[in-house]
Chain A
Amino acid sequence: MSPYGVDQRHHILSVLVENKAGVLARVAGLFARRGYNIFSLAVAPSGDDRMSRITIVVDVESAPLEQIVRQLDKLIPVVQITELDPAESRERELLLATVAVGPEERGQVIQLVGVFEGKIVDVGADRLTVMVAGAPGKLDDCEDLVRPYGFVELQRTGRVALPRLDRQTHSHVRTHQTEKAG
């Protein structure tokens, strides 16, 4: 299975952090020194300009999720941590790839990308740059299908996620903001 796909080992943490210099280094450094594996990490401004949101897909086989969350929570600039169960959340990711295709095969790739509701971003003499946004598993499929044409470059952003709206209860969202470590 592609490293991007959803499986039992993956958990998503949506982490609200103070928007200050060095915060990403603190988060990344914590994962590195405690031996926690990260599958992907995406940082972006949040609605509040004093805060940023980091979406981290962690490998819960490298350490129990509870440990990861509690250690993360000890970082002073970490304001809130929300655990998102992959089964209970909406995840999206963006893929950008340059494919080595000349005029003859171009049509086939454009068609494939179209199936995944992707876009053609750039066209060269023997190259094509495509963009696909969607659920990470979809991007995996697209990637597999386009690969035979030859990737010159491939970049994925890592996922961002929000809880699924199920109208019933929000009990699946576990938020850690009161239980701060000293």
Chain B
Amino acid sequence: MSQPELTGAQALIKSLEMQRVEVMFGLPGGAILPVYDPIIDSSIRHILVRHEQGAGHMAEGYAHVTGRPGVAMVTSGPGATNIVTPLADAYMDSIPLVVVTGQVATTSIGTDAFQESDITGITMGVTKHNWLVTDAADIPRVVAEAFHVATTGRPGPVLIDLPKDVANATMEWYWPEPSDLDLPGYHPVTEGDPILVRRAAELLLAAGRPVIYAGGGILKARASDALLELAERTGIPVVTTLMARGSVPDSHPLCLGMPGMHGNYTAVTAMQRSDLLVALGSRFDDRVTGKVDTFAPGAKIIHVDIDPAEHHKVRRADVAIAGDCRLVIEELLSALDALGLPASGRSGPGGDGGATADSRSTGASRASGATPMDALPGSVAVPGSLAATFPRERLDSWRAQLAEWQERFPLGYTGQAGEGGLKPQYVLETLRDATPDDTIVASGVGQHQMFASQWWRFEHPYTWVNSGGLGTMGFGVPAAIGAKVGRPDRMVWAIDGDGCFQMTAQELVTASSERIPVKIAILNNAYLGMVRQWQEMFYEERYSEVYLSPDLPDYVGWAESMGCVGLRVTTPEEVGPAIDKANAVDDRPVVIDFRTDAGEKVYPMVAAGASNDDIVVDPALGQGGR
């Protein structure tokens, strides 16, 4: 019984269908032409972008909110090089992507043929792996390998380079069994070593000033529920890094919010003073640790990461567990059972009253930062067990300390006075309070990103999509579009900077023509604001090449020309109504040009290379800079 003969191009599309790909983002060209023909007959929705970078970031946004790999397809040469930035971005933030690039015919490779570029060479350092396919018969196997590598272990981007003659050649169709994959050197670990898990559980019970340092790996491992159970059972507070915002609800009394360079005082200082840091899917990034030598000097470290190369890379761990965060946390919970600390009996976030308020408190109370640390859910130790020798009350003074910091050093700003344009924080608070709490927020890179991460209240995992590791300006608009494609049921807002918007705004044409109703809030401060902030603080206000202009381009006119609704907001009174208007539009994208105060700086701040002990809070708030 012979299998049908397919062209390599048909085999590629059929292989993507076998992987249950529903959407792909791309833009055709000469070398990938053969593969664009079978797309016409495929069940896969192809979204035609206006620039290949857009395709890559859309695939990232899609992957982030759905948990499924994002797929993009582009032509050789410039098409391929245009998608290098998204690959690098996805590599830094461990996002599963499968990118297919066309390539010149195998007979022309190495001859500087038209639109030839060595894309497997170029992307070696920014992909988890890549393949140059030289035989059409390999296509199904390579596609299956690519999806396997992208989505297992530490997720990441992969690239398949497909020469045109291979796409045109014929092959006998087959679909590989898992055992047919040819990956003798790839065996990701998933379960933690039970001895190490037990040792970690003992440290958890004994610590007096513990902090859970939750990173993006929690979301990748879909470990939010497990993390919440761990935090509640042990009573250990959690900081959520830029990549982990939403993994624990911000309203939860154990959530301390974001640590790092622009983290809040309590989150940063809790880590500094802790005696045990439980790093779960986090990697001691320099933006979190500040000066490494002075980072959390008194802390023992438990480090759970699926990538063993992260262990001891920046900070030596006392207990390093290689494994999937969800599985390892579940193992930790079993170990706690065995040590006499059983489940708290609570079913999940919002499951019982008081502690997790499901209604939003006002911006003001958020700014005051007073999270109720009493009324904590938790479990009771079995008498006579190891857990009973370390009663929960041992954490009371630590919690009191944290509450005191929250009281003394809340996140704040000087408020929305009339002068000098809108306060970005005021815009964000208003937007936050006017949108459903499962709204997906994407952002660009700069001050607006930090303000968004600080001032939004993330109540659900997978509601925050941003570029953390690479810090890619222009990420916001296409990532929001990809997120909306993945979750059409959710409201999706991009919070963007004027500088970032100008890098990838053309994708709003894609969104309009594909009827993807994303909403964009440009915090238009007329500057490359984050760079301006550094020049103000560290280069004596010598502003070099950071001024953009508030009205060149005319953002409203530009938005309208791209088929979007365009709105402009210059006064505080207009903020709420404009947002309501935007929220009511669901047949096309909306862009709001918020004219914000260029002088507003992001605080708190730990200067690059400085110690986290030297965190500076907003001097304007009268805290004496500390």
Contact = CB atoms under 8 A, between A and B. Distances in A.
Contacts of A177: 187
A167 B153 CA distance: 38
Interface in B173-187: 183-187
Given A67-B309, A76-B129, A182 B121 contact: no
B322 to A, nearest CB: 7
Interface in A25-47: 25-26, 29-30, 33
B124 to A, nearest CB: 5
Given A66-B312, A67-B313, A182 B185 contact: no
A71 interface: yes
Main secondary structure of the interface of B (DSSP, over half): loop
Given A22-B120, A25-B124, A180 B186 contact: yes
Nearest to B94: A182
B186 A70 contact: no
A26 B152 contact: no
B188 A182 contact: yes
A77 interface: yes
Contacts of B164: none
B119 to A, nearest CB: 12
Contacts of A74: 307, 309
Contact of B154 (A66, A73, A182): A182
A181 B184 contact: no
B495 to A, nearest CB: 31
A62 to B, nearest CB: 14
A178 interface: yes
14 contacts: A21-B132, A22-B121, A25-B124, A67-B313, A70-B308, A75-B129, A77-B185, A178-B187, A180-B153, A180-B185, A181-B154, A181-B307, A182-B155, A182-B307
Contacts of A130: none
Given A67-B309, A71-B309, A73-B309, A78 B154 contact: no
A76 to B, nearest CB: 4
Contacts of B306: 181-182
Nearest to B126: A33
A79 B184 contact: yes
Interface of B: 120-121, 124-125, 128-129, 132, 149, 152-155, 183-189, 306-309, 311-313, 322
Interface of A: 17-18, 21-22, 25-26, 29-30, 33, 64, 66-67, 70-71, 73-80, 177-182
Contacts of A25: 121, 124
Given A21-B132, A181-B153, A26 B184 contact: no
Contacts of B184: 18, 79
A179 B186 CA distance: 10
> Which 7 interchain pairs have the tightest Cβ spacing?
A182-B153, A182-B188, A70-B309, A182-B154, A79-B185, A180-B187, A76-B129
A79 B387 CA distance: 43
Nearest to A80: B185
A180 B189 contact: yes
Contacts of B120: 22
With most chain B CB atoms within 10 A of its CB, the pick from A30, A79, A182 is A182
With most chain B CB atoms within 10 A of its CB, the pick from A76, A79, A178 is A76
